[in-house]
Structure 1
Amino acid sequence: MKYKELTEKIIGCAMKVHAAMGNGFQEVIYQRCLAVEMQKQGLGFVREMEMPIFYDGIDVGMRRVDFFIEGAIMVELKAIINLEDVHLAQTMNYLEAYKMEIGLLINFGSRSLQFKRVHNNKMV
């Protein structure tokens, strides 16, 4: 699997954050904690990078993705009770819009950390 080591390292960072913080905080708190942990692990990332969304070649708005890591992985965070199909669809749409091959959807809001590797099938 492409990017397996990198995604495992990111998930490991998220697990450390969840183990230390538990569930119940706002998403921004987990985002800040994850940034600290990834920095400690030597991962290069950009946080809340704004990117334009295009429709039919026309710029129709902006979207901030929680993290772009090592220029290869997009990470979308949630702090909700359970991930639902709509969150997976959102992540898949971002991958397609940003022409990224793989992303992670990570949820800190449940008792146990939830995560999904999301692949952009249009790039395979």
Structure 2
Amino acid sequence: MHENEISKIIFDLGLKIHKNLGPGLLESAYEECLFYEISKAGLFVEKQKPMPLIYEEVKLDIGYRIDLLVEKSVVIEVKSCEALNDVHLAQVLTYLKLSGCRLGLLINFNTNLFKNGYRRILNGNVSL
């Protein structure tokens, strides 16, 4: 399945969760719900996937963890904050670089409209 198809499914599932729960919950609650919904949709999803840093052929496990990795190709970073900022974007860019994935989704559930908290990052380019 192509990354665009996967991201469409994830958007729809995130929207469903947001409609049911609304903003204001902890990040971990949204992450668990999204993990559940993605699994239920039949996609392979890994939660809190460790992502080591390779430096001069040495694998360093220094605590990087991707919130959700879908079909080994789409990185999802879940947030529940007042507003997304450059640090959140940098986090997704780092995960894309370390994982070798092309597409990252930065999802902030703490918004009145779900679409306002949804960002696609494709090879370092951000789109709404």
TM-score range, shorter chain: 0.7 to 0.9
Question: In structure 1, the residue corresponding to 2:51 is in which secondary structure?
Answer: strand
2:77 is aligned to 76
Deviation at 1:99, TM superposition (A): 1.4
CA 1:108–1:120: 2 relative to 1, 3 Å: same
Give deviations 1:5-64, integer Å, cap 9, x for gaps.
Answer: 110101111110011010111111001111121122212101111121234444261211
Between the two proteins, the alignment pairs up a number of residues equal to: 120
Question: Is 1:92–1:119's contact at 8 Å kept on the other side of the alignment?
Answer: no
Q: Which amino acid aligns with 2:25?
A: F
Pairs within 5 Å for 1:13-32: 13-32=13-32
1:6 is aligned to 6
What is the root-mean-square deviation of aligned Cα atoms in Å? Answer: 1.6
Deviates more, 1:85-94 or 1:64-73: 85-94
1:67 is aligned to 68
User: Whole-Å Cα distance in 2 between the matches of residues 70 and 60 of structure 1?
Assistant: 22
1:112 is aligned to 113
5+ residue gaps in structure 2?
none
So what's the TM-score if we normalise by structure 2?
A: 0.85
Deviates more, 1:52-61 or 1:3-12: 52-61
Question: Is 1:23–1:110's contact at 8 Å kept on the other side of the alignment?
Answer: yes
Question: Is 2:51–2:95's contact at 8 Å kept on the other side of the alignment?
Answer: no
User: Whole-Å Cα distance in 2 between the matches of residues 118 and 76 of structure 1?
Assistant: 11
Give deviations 1:54-104, integer Å, cap 9, x for gaps.
Answer: 344442612111111011111111000111122112111111122111111
So what's the TM-score if we normalise by structure 1?
A: 0.88
Deviation at 1:109, TM superposition (A): 1.2
